[in-house]
Amino acid sequence: MTRNLFGTDGVRGTANVYPMTAEMALRLGAAAGRYFRNDGMNGHRVVIGKDTRLSGYMFENALTAGLTSTGMNVLLLGPVPTPAVGLLTTSMRADLGIMISASHNPHADNGIKFFGPDGFKLSDDAEREIEALIEGEIEPAQAANIGRAKRIDDGRFRYVERVKSTFPHGMRLNGLKVVIDCANGAAYKVAPEVLWELGAEVIPVGVSPNGTNINAGCGSTDTRAAAQAIRDHGADVGICLDGDADRVMILDETGQVADGDQIMALMAARWAEQDRLRGGTLVATVMSNLGLERFLATRGLHLERTAVGDRYVVEAMRRGGWNLGGEQSGHIVMTDFATTGDGLLAGLQFLAAMIETGQPASALARNFDTVPQLLRNVRYERGQDPLAAGPVQAAIAAAEGALQGKGRLLIRKSGTEPLVRVMAECEDEGLLVRLVDEIAGAVQAAV
């Protein structure tokens, strides 16, 4: 059975356009409710969080209607980071967790992510079974067994305390001036609170959500506002989150950006020195830079690569018993502390390294020289398959031949947007640009 609705991170798309309609959200809620309340008993729970998108209200209500119609009791958290949903699903003994967010996407998009009772994202098999239920008749609960919905007012504070507990005991951020960019998203309250309570001088950016400004000119996908704030205030470091706060980019005191690869390199090296890195292994995706792999190898550490998507990183970590992984895009997963990527938690680990070493952010943010990497995105209409076109396949084959022994090539469809991602790495930058341009051009012609 194939998955038609679910991508690499739940169901995602433009609000009020299939599949992100209120009707589909209601059916998703009902199908998920039927899947988890399969014993006919009352008392089953689901927690729902969301980011700050305007459409979040619509999907929250539709999901609640679907879930309660099958007898699930719904606990509404309001705007909270995605990792808070994973945490609270387990701590509140829920059967299911749902996050309404399209992460780093523009405000017009939205998404629905599912977490199992263990706080981890649902497996592909579970998503297939939920899709199968959607396609059939979903049996509602009897009238006396319809579920209830309740607002949970302290979910944000529970998450704040959990994140603070991961910071080294007794350590404070006194004397550090920190820019925190919350992307006008889900962490707009919790992130500044955590940093202030730990003693930092906080300079907030992107903390005035209005429903349509999430990720707009701010956050981990556009760090210019944070960089300017660093320069204006003479800050020591910047932490830039995305719309649902499961990604992070770190900015040093000059405003230069350290991506997920550099952050993972720092953490892997430090954890290995402290005998905390299980199996001497870091898990990352095929998108991570070859420079990261070389950096780890010089320290006797191993890089385990997975398909793109933090859920696949987590699945590999659980299979191998490893405790550190992530993506170049800024998902940093530390299973000692959380069940999914947590940008704020990763930012605190970086701040702890600054305090423990006494080094500035710039000294910790550049751990290896990157191999030149180029990524081009080509948008296509949903339903098209540009990678099947003969000229595209020919361009890819020619590039693979030219790169043999000189670099890497990765061509894939995005799991969250209708984009073909054309990525290559090569020491020869001229060859790199030419090959990526040729493949991207062939894809563009095909669409």
Q: Are 105 and 417 in contact (CB under 8 A)?
A: yes
Q: Calculate the alpha carbon distances from 136 to 28, 32, 133, 248 in Å.
A: 12, 13, 5, 40
- The catalytic residue among 103, 220, 288, 329 is 103
Rg over CA atoms, the chain = 22
Q: How many CB atoms lie within 10 A of CB 277?
A: 21
3-class DSSP assignment, residue 287: coil
Tokens 């398959």, residue?
385
Q: Are 115 and 89 in contact (CB under 8 A)?
A: yes
Q: Which two tokens stand for residue 196?
A: 């202030």
Q: Calculate the alpha carbon distances from 375 to 309, 419, 422, 423, 439 in Å.
A: 16, 12, 6, 4, 11
Residues 6 or more apart whose CB falls under 8 angstroms from that of 388 comprise none
The secondary structure of 144-207, three-state, reads HHCCCEEECCCHHHHHHHHHHHCCCCCCCCCCCEEEEECCCCCCCCHHHHHHHHCCCEEEEECC
CA–CA dist 114, 122 (Å, integer): 6
Please state whether beta strands 73-79 and 45-50 pair in parallel, antiparallel, or not at all (unpaired).
Answer: parallel
Residues 6 or more apart whose CB falls under 8 angstroms from that of 57 comprise none
Catalytic residue at 103? Answer: yes
Q: Are 81 and 342 in contact (CB under 8 A)?
A: yes
CA–CA dist 64, 84 (Å, integer): 19
CA–CA dist 294, 152 (Å, integer): 47
Q: CB-side exposure of 232: number of CA atoms within 13 Å?
A: 10
CA–CA dist 19, 12 (Å, integer): 7
3-state helix, strand, coil in the chain (%, to 5): 40, 20, 40
- Catalytic residues, by residue number, are 103
